[in-house]
C-alpha cells in the first residue's frame, strides 16, 4: 500500500523512500553499535543468579544439529548475538529455526545446502565447525573464513590437518574453503596441539563415518564433553570425551533429541569475580563447580570465602582482595584464557602485585590502556602483564575491544569512582545476555544508554 502510494509520487520522494528502505538495516546496526553501558560504582553485590547455558557449548552443538535428520530442542538458551549468527547459518542451510523464551527448536530434516556464505561466517569464530558437520551430513562444504573476537592470531591449520587425515579434499580459493568429503574414511589422528574447535570439528566430521575413528591429544574442555553428550543423546557412539583420546564409532543416522547444555562457566566466573571486586555475598546457580575449579581456587587465594553445593557456588567477599603472585592461562583444567581478562580487573584493585602470563592468544591485553586510563598500574611485556593493585579506580569513557575484555572493563567500572561508560557493547553482547540486567539483579547500578 505504502509502496503503491510512493510509486505515484515524484522522482525525488521515491528516491528518498528507496534510500531509507535500503539503509534501515544499516542505521539499525549503527544504533546497536552506539549503545553504551554506564556503570556507577559504590554498590556491593548481593543475591542469587542462575546462569544460562554455555555459549561455547551451544555454538558447536548448533553446528551438530545439521547432522540430525529430525528435530532438536535446546533448553536454557540465552539471547547472545553469536548464537543468533549461528542460527542464521542454520537457516541458510535449510533448517527451520524457532526461538522462544529460552527454548530453541531446530528442524534439520530439509538440510540441502552446503554453502556457508562469507557474509555469515566472517563474524564468528565458531562458524568453522560447520565444516566438519557439513562434511558429515552432505559430504561436501564450501565455507567462508571464520571471524570472531580480535584476540590475536587464530589459525585453523589443526582443523584442516585433521579433516585431511580423514580423507577430505580441501583447497582455498577467493576466500572460501572448498571441501570434498566423498572419500572420507575413519583413521587415527593426533592433534599437534590441543584445540577446542579442531577437536569439535573432527568429532562432528566422524560421527556418521562408518568405522572407528580415534582422535589423540584432544582438548578436554567441558564444552567438548558437552558436544559429545549432545551427539550421544541423538544416538552417536563416542567415548573418551574429557580425556586426551576420543573414540568415535560411526552410526548410520542421528535421531531427534531434547537437550540442556551445561551452564556457562565463564559467565558464572565473571559474576563471582564481580562480587570479589565490589565485596558482598552472591550465589551463582546452574554451574558445575568442577568446570571452574582453577578459578575458584584463585578466588579463594584472594581471600574470598566459597561455599559449594551441587550446582551452586556462594562467594562471600568481606575485605579487599589480596593479589595472586601469578596467573598463567592454559588448556582445561588450567586457568582459562577467557577468565584472564576478567581477573586482570580484579588484580588491578587487589592488594599487591601479580604477574599474568597469557599462553593461548597473543592479543588478550587490549583493555590495558583503558584500565590505565582508569588509574590501574599495569605494565605489559609480550605475553605478560605485571599488575600492581591500587585501592580505587576512577570512572572514564572506555571501549570494549573484544567480548571478555569488555566484560573486564564493566567489572572495573564497578570499583571506579563516579561513572564509567563502556562503548562497543556489541562485543559484550556476543557472550552475555544483557550483562546490565544480571548485574542489576545483584545490586549493581548499571544501565544501557544510547
Ligand atoms: N590453534 C592453532 N591452530 C588451530 C586452532 C587453534 O594454532 O587450528 C591455537 C590457537 O591459536 C590457540 C590455541 O590453539 O593458541 C587454542 O585455541 P582453540 O582452538 O582451543 O580455541 P577456539 O576453539 O578457537 C575456544 C573458545 C574461546 C576460548 C578458547 C580457549 C569457542 C567458540 N571459542 O576457541 O572462547 O578462549 O576455546 O579455551 O568455543 C570467548 O568465548 O570469548 C572465546 C574466545
How big is the chain by its Cα radius of gyration, in Å?
A: 23
| 236 plus 307 within the same structural domain | no
The answer to whether residue 445 sits within a structural domain is yes
Q: Are residues 253 and 289 in the same domain?
A: no
Contacts 24+ apart (CB under 8 A), 25-34: 31/450, 32/426, 33/424, 33/426, 34/423, 34/450
CA 196 to centroid of ligand 1, rounded, Å:
6
| Probe residue for ligand 1, chosen from 197, 357, 364 as the CB with the greatest number of ligand atoms within 8 Å | 197
Q: What is the rounded CA–CA span in Å between residue 398 and residue 396?
A: 6
- pLDDT computed for residue 13 by the predictor: 53
Last residue of a domain, one of 232, 259, 286: 259
441 within some domain: yes
3-class DSSP state of 267 = helix
Ligand 1, atom 11, residue with closest C-alpha: 154
Q: Which atom of ligand 1 is nearest to the CA of 404?
A: 42
| Ligand 1 atom closest to 151 (CA) | 44
Between the alpha carbon of residue 326 and those of residues 280, 295, 298, 330, 347, the distances in Å are 25, 13, 10, 13, 10
Q: Which atom of ligand 1 is nearest to the CA of 337?
A: 36
* CA separation for the pair 92, 80 (Å, rounded): 19
Which of the listed residues 259, 280, 299 is the one where a domain comes to its end? 259
Secondary structure (H, E, C), 217-241 = CCCCCHHHHHHHHHHHHCCCEEECE
Identify the pLDDT of residue 7: 44
Is the same domain home to 65 and 181? yes
For residues 121 and 45, state if they share a domain. Answer: no
**Distance, CA of 81 to CA of 149 (rounded, Å):** 13
Residue in 360, 366, 429, 432 to alter for ligand 1 test, most ligand atoms within 8 A of Cβ: 360
Query: SS in 3 state form for 374-396?
Result: CCCEEEEECCEEEEECCCCEECC
Tell me, in angstroms, the distance from the centre of ligand 1 to residue 251's CA: 28
**Nearest ligand 1 atom, CA 156:** 8
- Cα–Cα distance, 435 to 421 (Å, whole number): 14
* Predicted local confidence at residue 26, as pLDDT: 39
Domain-embedded: residue 28? no
Residue 17 belongs to some domain of the structure:
no
Same domain, 425 and 277: yes
What is the spatial distance between Cα 169 and Cα 140, in angstroms, rounded to a whole number? 9
Instruction: For residue 186, report the phi and psi dihedrals to the nearest 5 degrees.
Output: -65, 155
User: Strands, E, within 41-145: which ranges?
Assistant: 45-50, 71-74, 96-100, 103-107, 115-116, 140-144
Query: Does residue 273 sit in the same domain as residue 162?
Result: no
Q: Are strands 71-74 and 353-357 parallel, antiparallel or unpaired?
A: unpaired
> Among 65, 68, 87, 149, which one carries the catalytic annotation?
149
Ligand 1: distance of its center to the CA of 219 in Å? 10
Give the position of cell 548481593.
Answer: 46
Q: Which residue from 196, 400, 404 has its CB within 8 A of the most atoms of ligand 1, so it is best to mutate?
A: 196
pLDDT (0 to 100) of residue 10: 53
- Kindly state whether residues 190 and 215 are assigned to the same domain: yes
For residues 308 and 412, membership in a common domain is answered with yes
Kindly state whether residue 4 falls inside one of the protein's structural domains: no
Cα–Cα separations (whole angstroms), residue 9 to 6, 20, 24, 245:
5, 15, 21, 69
d(CA 144, CA 136): 18
What residues flank ligand 1, with Cβ below 6 Å? 56, 59, 125-126, 149, 151, 153-159, 193, 195-198, 219, 221, 223, 336-338, 360-361, 403-404, 431
Helices within 318-374 (DSSP H only): 337-348, 368-373
Query: What does the pLDDT read at residue 90?
Result: 98
Active site residue 149: yes
- For the beta carbon of residue 227, count every other beta carbon within 10 angstroms: 29
Would you say 366 and 405 are in contact if contact means Cβ atoms under 8 Å apart?
Answer: yes
Tell whether 44 and 78 lie within a shared domain: no
Q: What is the CATH number of the domain that holds 208?
A: 3.65.10.10
User: What whole-number distance in Å separates Cα of residue 73 and Cα of residue 107?
Assistant: 9
Same domain for 39 and 74? no
Question: Ligand 1 center to residue 208 CA distance, Å?
Answer: 25
Give phi and psi for 303, each to the nearest 5. 110, 5
Q: Which of 55, 60, 125 to probe ligand 1 with, by most ligand atoms within 8 A of CB?
A: 125
CA 334 to centroid of ligand 1, rounded, Å = 14
Q: For the chain, how far is it from start to end, CA to CA, in angstroms?
A: 33
Give yes or no: residues 187 and 267 share one domain: no
**Boundary of a domain, candidates 259, 282, 310:** 259
Q: What is the pLDDT of residue 17?
A: 47
**Are 141 and 248 in a shared domain?**
yes
The answer to whether position 371 is within a domain reads yes
Residue 13 lies in a domain: no
Alpha carbons 221 and 167: distance in angstroms, whole number = 26
Give pLDDT < 70 ranges for the chain. Answer: 1-33, 148-151
What pTM was estimated for this model as a whole?
A: 0.92
CA 106 to CA 280: how far, in whole Å?
A: 41
Q: Residues for the chain: how many in total?
A: 450
Query: Cis link prior to 20 (omega < 30° from 0)?
Result: no
Whole-number Å distance, alpha carbon 151 to ligand 1 midpoint, is 10
Domain boundaries, position 207: 53-259
Q: Domain total for the chain?
A: 2
Are residues 416 and 392 in contact, defined by beta-carbon separation less than 8 angstroms? yes
- Could you read off the pLDDT of 53-99 as tens digits, one per residue? 999 999 999 999 999 999 999 999 998 889 999 999 999 999 999 99
* 117 grid coordinates: 556464505
Question: Is residue 113 situated within a structural domain?
Answer: yes
**How many angstroms is it from 41 CA to the middle of ligand 1?**
33
Interstrand relation of 397-399 and 419-423 (parallel, antiparallel or unpaired): parallel
pLDDT number for residue 87: 97
Amino acid at each position: 500500500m505504502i509502496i503503491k502510494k510512493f510509486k505515484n509520487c515524484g522522482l525525488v520522494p521515491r528516491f528518498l523512500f528507496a534510500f531509507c528502505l535500503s539503509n534501515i538495516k544499516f542505521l539499525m546496526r549503527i544504533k546497536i553499535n552506539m549503545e553504551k553501558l554506564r556503570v556507577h560504582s559504590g554498590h556491593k553485590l548481593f543475591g542469587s543468579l542462575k546462569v544460562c547455558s554455555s555459549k561455547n557449548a551451544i555454538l558447536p552443538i548448533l553446528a551438530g544439529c545439521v547432522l540430525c535428520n529430525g528435530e532438536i530442542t535446546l533448553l536454557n538458551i540465552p539471547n547472545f548475538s553469536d548464537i543468533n549468527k549461528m542460527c542464521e547459518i542454520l537457516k541458510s542451510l535449510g533448517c527451520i529455526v524457532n526461538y522462544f523464551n529460552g527454548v530453541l527448536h531446530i528442524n534439520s530434516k530439509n538440510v540441502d545446502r552446503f554453502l556457508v556464505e562469507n557474509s555469515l561466517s566472517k563474524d564468528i569464530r565458531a562458524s568453522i565447525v560447520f565444516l566438519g558437520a557439513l562434511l558429515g551430513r552432505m559430504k561436501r562444504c564450501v565455507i567462508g573464513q571464520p571471524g570472531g573476537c580480535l584476540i590475536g592470531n587464530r589459525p585453523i591449520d589443526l582443523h584442516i590437518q585433521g579433516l585431511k587425515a580423514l580423507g577430505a579434499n580441501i583447497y582455498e580459493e577467493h576466500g572460501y574453503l572448498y571441501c570434498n568429503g566423498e572419500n572420507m574414511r575413519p583413521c587415527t589422528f593426533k592433534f599437534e596441539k590441543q584445540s577446542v574447535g579442531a577437536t569439535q570439528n573432527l568429532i562432528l566430521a566422524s560421527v556418521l563415518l562408518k568405522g572407528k575413528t580415534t582422535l589423540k591429544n584432544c582438548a578436554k574442555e567441558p564444552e567438548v564433553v558437552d558436544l559429545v553428550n549432545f551427539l550421544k543423546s541423538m544416538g552417536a557412539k563416542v567415548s573418551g570425551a574429557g580425556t586426551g583420546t576420543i573414540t568415535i564409532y560411526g552410526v548410520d543416522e542421528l535421531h531427534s533429541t531434547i537437550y540442556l547444555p551445561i551452564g556457562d562457566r565463564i559467565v558464572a566466573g565473571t559474576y563471582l569475580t564481580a562480587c570479589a571486586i565490589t565485596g558482598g555475598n552472591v550465589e551463582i546457580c546452574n554451574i558445575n563447580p568442577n568446570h571452574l575449579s582453577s578459578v575458584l581456587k584463585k578466588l579463594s587465594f584472594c581471600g574470598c570465602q566459597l561455599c559449594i553445593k551441587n550446582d551452586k557456588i556462594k562467594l562471600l567477599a568481606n575485605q579487599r582482595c589480596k593479589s595472586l603472585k601469578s596467573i598463567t592461562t592454559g588448556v582445561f583444567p588450567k586457568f582459562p584464557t577467557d577468565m584472564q581478562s576478567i581477573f586482570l580487573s580484579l588484580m588491578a584493585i587487589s592488594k599487591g602485585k601479580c604477574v599474568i602470563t597469557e599462553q593461548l592468544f597473543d592479543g588478550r591485553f587490549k583493555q590495558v590502556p583503558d584500565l590505565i586510563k582508569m588509574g590501574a598500574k599495569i605494565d605489559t611485556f609480550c605475553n605478560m602483564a605485571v599488575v600492581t593493585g591500587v585501592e580505587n579506580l576512577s570512572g572514564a569513557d572506555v571501549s570494549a575491544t573484544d567480548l571478555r575484555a569488555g566484560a573486564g572493563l564493566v567489572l572495573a567500572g564497578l570499583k571506579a569512582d563516579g561513572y564509567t561508560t563502556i562503548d562497543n557493547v556489541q562485543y559484550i553482547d556476543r557472550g552475555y545476555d544483557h550483562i546490565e540486567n544480571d548485574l542489576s539483579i545483584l545490586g549493581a547500578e548499571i544501565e544501557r544508554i544510547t
